[in-house]
Amino acid sequence: MSNFDVIVLGSGPGGYVTAIRASQLGMKTAIIEKESLGGVCLNWGCIPTKALLKSAQVFEYLQHAGDYGLKVEGADKDFDAVVKRSRNVASGMSKGVQFLMKKNKIEVINGYGKIKQGKKVVVKGEDGKETEYSASHIIIATGARSRELPSLPQDGKKIIGYRKAMTLEKQPDKLVVVGSGAIGIEFAYFYNAMGTEVTVVEFLPNIVPVEDEEISKQLERNFKKSGIKIMTSSEVTKADTSGDGVKVTVKTPKGEEILEADVVLSAVGIKTNIENIGLEEVGVATDRDKILVNDYYQTNIPGYYAIGDVTAGPALAHVASAEGILCVEKIAGMHVEPLDYGNIPGCTYCMPEVASVGLTEKQAREKGLDIKVGKFPFSASGKAQASGNSDGFVKVIFDAKYGEWLGCHMIGAGVTDMIAEAVLGRKLETTGHEILKTVHPHPTMSEAVMEAVADAYGEVIHL
């Protein structure tokens, strides 16, 4: 039996980052993975989807080359080549994680891991052989998978999850996307840009329902303009796969409607991977599909920890990474502060992109706060106009009395790269006046942040 200081179960953006930080802090570390290093994010989520979305964006540019004074004739797409490029990008990133494991002297154990009492993990390899390992600290980072609705059981052919959506052998002529969170919206944009007829069905009144309502309405307008059908306050009650395609029964405010499609993508959230990993045997406490942890990701059983999607925080790659680092730094005896979950940025990489942090306007008003709200449209931005991406806006929310930056919401080209300014500003407790007096470069999209703040304080120049 091999002994380690830290064993990490799962090698996604939570697990492999945790392992690296543990090794940096001088701990003998091992990581257990049943599939490919990098987990869902690198292999089936964050990274390969961005490769698909970039192909869609380039294809759209080619179709609108005339808007830039250019002539491109006969531009077409090769769906198989687009998918292949995405898989190659994912493969390259996974190999990069392999390199990082070697560089940081982390032992990679391939197989299915299951925790046991006494700070042990049993790993079952592909050959069926079981090997036992022990560690002073065992960190569970097993992530999550696509959640299935009872009315929409996935068969991997006509009713699919996000993994299959990335590797379809044939581009569907018609696609129904159920759920309008980041996953559903990104695939809706990708397939629509590739030429598929797309319908989005959302149970709640707004698409991207966690976002500010003005952002949601703007994105809905953009999607409808692109030819995507949006059905909000609607619920899929049945799916018939007996024919050539799928017939989806949707309950809407106006009555029942039947949609016909080649494929249905179920994007209604995630289900954590906490079954059959030994939680019950060890006595690790769970609640509603999540492992219970304290501010430092310790479970109720000493020596066992959990981070990422298996815990109650936002199911985001950057959150899992931050939690893992904090967890092992606490183990190492460093002074750490609990993660501020109110300052976590969220990003959706459709076109236009969506990015946000902090309170929405509705949330701020529901809290009874006296607020200042500012907006600046990209249609008034020189850089946005020059680049041909003038859709969208930046919206900021400040506490009227103290100038605290309560929230920032963006929709437009490149905003997922811009949101970090608001995250950092809020972390440093920056006030609106300090943002106003921070010189932003011209011409850039980021000027819109300064201008939105200026609008909140009645000092906007270019609007």
Q: Cα(24)–Cα(310) distance, rounded to whole angstroms?
A: 24
Amino acid letter, 21: R
Query: Does the annotation flag 404 for ligand binding?
Result: no
**266: annotated binding-site residue?**
no
113 carries a ligand binding annotation: yes
d(CA 6, CA 27): 7
HEC secondary structure over the chain:
CEEEEEEEECCCCCHHHHHHHHHHCCCCEEEEECCCCCHHHHHHCHHHHHHHHHHHHHHHHHHCHHHHCCCCCCCCCCHHHHHHHHHHHHHHHHHHHHHHHHHCCCEEEECEEEEECCCEEEEECCCCCEEEEEEEEEEECCCEEECCECCECCCCCCEECHHHHCCCCCCCCEEEEECCCHHHHHHHHHHHHHCCEEEEECCCCCCCCCCCHHHHHHHHHHHHHCCCEEECCCEEEEEECCCCCEEEEEEECCEEEEEEECEEEECCCEEECCCCCCHHHHCCCEECCEECCCCCCECCCCCEEECHHHCCCCCCHHHHHHHHHHHHHHHCCCCCCCCCHHHCCEEECCCCEEEEEECCHHHHHHCCCCEEEEEEEHHHCHHHHHHCCCCCEEEEEEECCCCEEEEEEEEECCHHHHCHHHHHHHHCCCEHHHHHCCCCCCCCCCHHHHHHHHHHCCCCCCC
Check whether 364 is labelled as a binding-site residue.
no
Please report the sign of the dihedral spanned by the C-alpha atoms of residue 168, residue 172, residue 175, residue 180.
positive
Catalytic residue among 409, 433, 440, 442: 442
Whether residue 184 is annotated as binding a ligand: the answer is yes
Residue 50 annotated as binding site: yes
Do the annotations mark residue 235 as ligand-binding? no
Residue 185 assigned to a binding site: yes
CA 167, CA 84: separation in Å to the nearest integer?
8
Look up 442 and say whether it is catalytic. yes
Find out whether 419 is annotated in a ligand binding site. no
Confirm whether residue 179 is marked as ligand binding: yes
Q: How many CB atoms lie within 10 A of CB 416?
A: 18
The answer to the question of whether 180 is labelled as a binding residue is: yes
Q: Which residues are annotated as a binding site?
A: 50, 113, 179-186, 202, 269, 309
Q: Which residues are annotated as a binding site for FAD?
A: 50, 113, 309
For the annotated catalytic residues, the residue numbers are 442
Q: Which residues are annotated as a binding site for NAD(+)?
A: 179-186, 202, 269
